[in-house]
Amino acid sequence: MKTFEYTIKDELGIHARPAGMLAKTAKELDSEITITKGEKTVGATKLMALMGMGIKCGETITVTINGGDEEASETAMKQFFESNL
Amino acid sequence: MKDKIFGVLQRVGRSFMLPIALLPVAGLLLGIGSSFTNPTTLETYGLTGIISEGGFLYTILDIMSKTGSVVFDNLALLFAMGVAIGMAKKEKEVAALSGAIGYLIMNTAISALISAKGGVEAMAVNSTTTSLGITTLQMGVFGGIIVGLGVAALHNRFYKVQLPQVLSFFGGTRFVPIITSIVYLIVGVVMFYIWPIVQSGIAQLGQLVLESGYVGTWIYGIIERALIPFGLHHVFYMPFWQTELGGAMLIDGTMIQGAQNIFFAELASKATEQFSVSATRFMSGKFPFMIFGLPAAAFAMYKAARPEKKKLVGGLLLSAALTSMLTGITEPLEFTFLFVAPVMYAVHCVLAGLSYMLMHIFHVGVGMTFSGGAIDLTLFGILQGNEKTNWIWIVIVGLIYAVVYYFVFYFMITKFNFKTPGREADDEETKLYTRKDVDARKEFAAAKNVDDFDKISALILKGLGGKANLSDVDCCATRLRVTVINPDLVQDSLLKESGASGVIHKGNGVQVIYGPQVSVVKSNLEDFLDTAASDTLDIFSDESVLDTSKEKKIESKPKVQTIELYSHMNGTVVLLEEVEDEAFSSKVLGEGIAIEPTEGKLYAPCDGKVEMVFETKHAVNIVSKDGCEILLHIGIDTVKLSGEFFESHVADGQEICKGDLLISFDREKIKNAGYKTTTPMVICNTEDYKAVEAVAAGNIIAGEKIIKIK
């Protein structure tokens, strides 16, 4: 299991579009990805739950990577967040 | 075959309605205008002091009379254009232009031949007339109908024609006026030689009708009424009203043909002392049963209704009776008993025929513009004076008719226990039948009989995923080119069974290869799409359309639960692929559909629970009671508005029902801020289902079925 923290820089936060892209990216990886904000944790492929987190700009989330090629998945997720959020 | 001819005739009849709808207004102008400029009328009512020739009121009335009259004078042109519009399948405005062109060209060709032959003097007496300043053969409205029907046929055949590259500018709809002018040049030449023969034939047939006297009038009346259920009565009476068949007469030095034309020419003429009954016998008979008889029948139905239903039925029957009385539009009332008691309708036909005959016998000379209501009776009967029209007989016969209709109807209803309104079993809804109901019944019956509908077209339609799945049908030289809403619904096997040699898919485009006969396949399919049967394709059991092997395949599929979602807005359906936002069009967020709203309101597409309203209030997540996760997203990029112009009416976690208002928004302001309001509805958990299908296209009203999920 690997984790990393990320602080959202996109001023609009994780609204519909980034949530869709995040879910899509997570689906393509062979690891299980979860997103944690405060006490809530959701699967990154669960689009609606993801949107339901209401993650806003400046908030810090924890990304957890579990199983599969964790190394590659972590790189991919980091890259995704850096370039999109 | 029989049904096909019938269908065409019915459409012809319906296409007459556009020009005919103008007649009451033109008749009103002519009726009022000519009544009060007629010196006899003015003297009779002592109005000479107020209305005198050259005076202000007289001039106004004269304008009314003449503008009304011009409509009747140019009916042929109106029919040429109106019928072309009514019969054209698409691009109707081009058909209208072509109709006018065809009419002018045909008459001009005839005119040139008449002068070549030596002018009007060389022609048979009364066989020529002047139309729009062109000296031509007297063809009456027939001339216009010939043009209208022919132009529509040419139009439907050629409006999509493709010409070789160099001439391509003249292709498509532009080709229709061109081919029309050429064809009607030839038709004009042919008419010049044929029409005189037809003219003498019609004259003889009309003579026969005229000579058969009262019995002839009676039979005319029965047939006219009996054709009402089929909507073909206009085809039957029009020739009598508008052509030589209804007689010809010299009025004010002009030869006038057709019963109605004669009446209105006499109305416009200041020399008329009495209206010609030989003409009005094709019209006057309507008054007694329309103003008196049928309303009495309505009263009989009211009396025969069960006491607890009387109040409900009373309103329905009263409005139908008033419509018949005032305007002479009888269908609302007639269709009420036509289905439940055809025998009663037969009796009605005989009585109606008798009414025509009685009016003939009593020399009643009251004409009409459209039908025999009280308005026409007042204008063309009472106002013209009893000496000219004998209108008093309409009232006398009418009162007797009222009594006869009341007792005959009441007796028959109670004796045979006919289920007229208010007498039906409790579960049936009380209502007046409309023409649509008649057609729907007919087509439903026809559709059930497999031999009677186009099997191949039905098969193709089924193969393409049903009517709702079609967005556009076209063809090229060998292929049927179809744009479908959901390509997954297309079943190649069914298409091949319909005779296709291959099927090509390209996104939403489907090309079905049939070979050169494809244009026939396409037009058959289009005709089939126009029938009610195509809407209800599912009513056919599979074995009627498919052979048994296919049927087994279908049956072997496991039954899956389908979830239906209903439109979330009023507006126009937009395919998700066409939404101008990658996130939706690429379907990253899931399958679904979008609506371009015409109103700033978002409604719940199903029963369920609000999962979350976005903080910016431009989107809402809903979970349906079946577990379907739905994202409704108002506008493109509207997250940037940070909630401005949006107002939420629900809270997170709230239970909702289909049709509940979720969010309202200011469409104009959002647009002015530079954002689109296209609103996608996507199924976030699309991967949990086998298929998400859009089942609507075009304009939609909130609450109509829009998505099916399997």
| Positions of A marked catalytic | 15
- Please tell me the distance from the alpha carbon of residue B345 to that of residue B413, in angstroms, as a whole number: 12
Question: How many CA atoms lie within 13 Å of B13's alpha carbon, on the beta-carbon side?
Answer: 18
Contacts of residue B153, defined as CB under 8 A and 6 or more positions apart, other chains included, come to B87
Q: Do A20 and B589 touch (CB under 8 A)?
A: yes
How far off is chain B from A52, nearest CA to CA, in Å?
Answer: 6
- Residues of chain B found within 8 Å of residue A25, distances taken between Cβ atoms: none
**Total number of domains in chain A:** 1
Instruction: CATH number of the domain at A78, please.
Output: 3.30.1340.10
Measure the N-to-C terminal CA separation of chain B; round to a whole number of Å.
Answer: 41
Whether residue B185 lies within 8 A of chain A, CB to CB, comes out as: no
Q: Do B685 and A47 touch (CB under 8 A)?
A: yes
Which of A15, A20, A47 lies at the smallest CB-CB distance from B639?
Answer: A15
How far off is chain A from B485, nearest CA to CA, in Å?
Answer: 23
Active-site residue, from B233, B476, B568, B657: B476
Return the residue in A11, A15, A56 with the most chain B beta carbons within 10 A, the one to mutate for interface testing. A15
- Residues of chain A found within 8 Å of residue B619, distances taken between Cβ atoms: 15-16
Q: Do A15 and B619 touch (CB under 8 A)?
A: yes
Beta bridge partners of A41: A36
State which H helix or E strand residue B612 sits in.
Answer: strand B608-613
State which H helix or E strand residue B207 sits in.
Answer: helix B175-211
Which of B583, B612, B685 lies at the smallest CB-CB distance from A20?
Answer: B583
Which of B583, B621, B623 lies at the smallest CB-CB distance from A17?
Answer: B583
Distance set, CA B424 to CA A38, B332, B370, B407 (Å):
67, 18, 34, 21
Whether residue A16 lies within 8 A of chain B, CB to CB, comes out as: yes
- Residues of chain B found within 8 Å of residue A12, distances taken between Cβ atoms: 639-640
Whether residue A40 lies within 8 A of chain B, CB to CB, comes out as: no
- Please tell me the distance from the alpha carbon of residue B199 to that of residue B212, in angstroms, as a whole number: 20
B371 contacts B336 by C-beta, under 8 angstroms? no
**Strand bridging mode B248-251 / B254-257:** antiparallel
State which H helix or E strand residue B401 sits in.
Answer: helix B392-416
Whether residue B581 lies within 8 A of chain A, CB to CB, comes out as: yes
State which H helix or E strand residue A33 sits in.
Answer: strand A32-37
- Residues of chain B found within 8 Å of residue A54, distances taken between Cβ atoms: 612, 614-615
Distance set, CA B34 to CA A65, B41, B385 (Å):
93, 9, 13
Whether residue B615 lies within 8 A of chain A, CB to CB, comes out as: yes
Residue ranges in B249-373 assigned as alpha helix (H): 259-268, 277-280, 286-287, 294-304, 310-327, 331-338, 342-361
How many CB pairs below 8 A link A and B?
52
Burial of B64 (0-12, 13-18, 19+ CB in 10 A): buried
Distance set, CA B235 to CA B145, B188, B239, B257 (Å):
11, 23, 7, 17
**Strand bridging mode B592-597 / B571-575:** antiparallel
Contacts of residue B478, defined as CB under 8 A and 6 or more positions apart, other chains included, come to B513, B514, B515, B516, B518
- Residues of chain A found within 8 Å of residue B620, distances taken between Cβ atoms: none
- Residues of chain B found within 8 Å of residue A19, distances taken between Cβ atoms: 589
Q: Is B505 part of the annotated catalytic residue set?
A: no
- Please tell me the distance from the alpha carbon of residue B492 to that of residue A67, in angstroms, as a whole number: 42
Nearest residue of B to residue A19 by CA position? B589
Nearest residue of B to residue A13 by CA position? B639
B282 contacts B353 by C-beta, under 8 angstroms? no
- Please tell me the distance from the alpha carbon of residue B512 to that of residue B457, in angstroms, as a whole number: 13
Give the closest residue to B446 by CA, choosing from B522, B343, B540.
B540
- Please tell me the distance from the alpha carbon of residue B76 to that of residue B327, in angstroms, as a whole number: 24
Residues spanned by the domain of A67:
2-84
| Pair of tokens at residue B89 | 């399948």
Give the closest residue to B283 by CA, choosing from B398, B181, B365.
B365
How far off is chain B from A25, nearest CA to CA, in Å?
Answer: 10
CA B198 to chain CA centroid, nearest Å: 31
- Residue A62: strand, helix, or coil: strand
pLDDT digits (tens, 9 = 90+) for A49-71: 888 888 888 888 888 888 878 88
SS3 for B432-459 is CCCHHHHHHHHHHHHHHCHHHCCHHHHH
A70 contacts A34 by C-beta, under 8 angstroms? no
B307 contacts B413 by C-beta, under 8 angstroms? no
The reported pLDDT for the residue numbered B285 is: 92
- Please tell me the distance from the alpha carbon of residue B356 to that of residue B645, in angstroms, as a whole number: 67
Q: What is the mean pLDDT of chain A?
A: 84
Find tokens 């009409």 and name the residue: B368
User: Per the confidence metrics, is the pTM higher than 0.90?
Assistant: no
Which of B621, B633, B639 lies at the smallest CB-CB distance from A48?
Answer: B621
Question: How many CA atoms lie within 13 Å of B33's alpha carbon, on the beta-carbon side?
Answer: 21
Contacts of residue B84, defined as CB under 8 A and 6 or more positions apart, other chains included, come to B95, B96, B98, B99, B102, B147, B148, B151, B152, B155
Give the closest residue to A52 by CA, choosing from A62, A65, A42.
A42
Rg (C-alpha) for chain B, rounded Å, is 31
SS3 for B287-310 is HHHHHHHHHHHHHHHHHHCCHHHH
Contacts of residue B90, defined as CB under 8 A and 6 or more positions apart, other chains included, come to B159
Q: Please give the backbone phi and psi of residue B625, each rounded to the nearest 5 degrees, phi first.
A: -65, -15
State which H helix or E strand residue B683 sits in.
Answer: strand B679-683
- Residues of chain B found within 8 Å of residue A52, distances taken between Cβ atoms: 611-612, 621
Which of A20, A52, A56 lies at the smallest CB-CB distance from B621?
Answer: A52
How far off is chain B from A70, nearest CA to CA, in Å?
Answer: 24
| Pair of tokens at residue A84 | 């999109």
B685 contacts A47 by C-beta, under 8 angstroms? yes
B316 residue type, one letter: L
Return the residue in A14, A27, A47, A85 with the most chain B beta carbons within 10 A, the one to mutate for interface testing. A47
Active-site residue, from B348, B360, B568, B633: B633
Q: Do B581 and A23 touch (CB under 8 A)?
A: no
- Please tell me the distance from the alpha carbon of residue B396 to that of residue B261, in angstroms, as a whole number: 27
- Residues of chain B found within 8 Å of residue A15, distances taken between Cβ atoms: 614, 616, 619, 639
- Residues of chain A found within 8 Å of residue B685, distances taken between Cβ atoms: 47-48
Find tokens 């859009």 and name the residue: B694
Distance set, CA B3 to CA B35, B329, B439, B525 (Å):
46, 27, 12, 17
Nearest residue of A to residue B688 by CA position? A46
B632 contacts B622 by C-beta, under 8 angstroms? yes
Which of A12, A47, A52 lies at the smallest CB-CB distance from B590?
Answer: A47
Q: Do B623 and A47 touch (CB under 8 A)?
A: no
| Pair of tokens at residue B359 | 């009016």
Return the residue in B585, B586, B587, B588 with the most chain A beta carbons within 10 A, the one to mutate for interface testing. B588
Return the residue in B584, B589, B678 with the most chain A beta carbons within 10 A, the one to mutate for interface testing. B589
Which of A15, A21, A23 lies at the smallest CB-CB distance from B614?
Answer: A15
- Residues of chain A found within 8 Å of residue B623, distances taken between Cβ atoms: 48
Q: What is the mean pLDDT of each run of 10 residues along chain B (710 residues)?
A: 60 70 71 71 70 83 87 84 87 91 94 88 75 83 86 90 80 88 94 83 66 84 78 69 82 85 85 85 92 94 87 81 80 74 90 93 86 84 86 94 95 87 60 60 50 70 84 74 84 80 77 73 79 59 39 39 86 85 80 89 89 86 86 87 86 85 88 88 84 82 86
The length of chain B in residues reads: 710
Give the closest residue to B32 by CA, choosing from B54, B60, B71.
B60
DSSP B18: H
How far off is chain B from A13, nearest CA to CA, in Å?
Answer: 10
Q: Do A24 and B615 touch (CB under 8 A)?
A: no
B83 contacts B144 by C-beta, under 8 angstroms? yes
- Residues of chain A found within 8 Å of residue B641, distances taken between Cβ atoms: none
How far off is chain B from A72, nearest CA to CA, in Å?
Answer: 22
Q: Which of residues A77 and B52 earns the better pLDDT score?
A: A77
- Please tell me the distance from the alpha carbon of residue B492 to that of residue B471, in angstroms, as a whole number: 18
* Crossing angle (nearest 10°) for helices B331-338 and B294-304: 50
Distance set, CA B87 to CA B7, B14, B90, B109 (Å):
12, 9, 9, 25
Indicate whether this complex's ipTM tops 0.85: yes
Give counts: helices (H), strands (E), chain B. 29, 22
Q: How many CB atoms lie within 10 A of CB B592?
A: 26
- Please tell me the distance from the alpha carbon of residue B482 to that of residue B464, in angstroms, as a whole number: 9
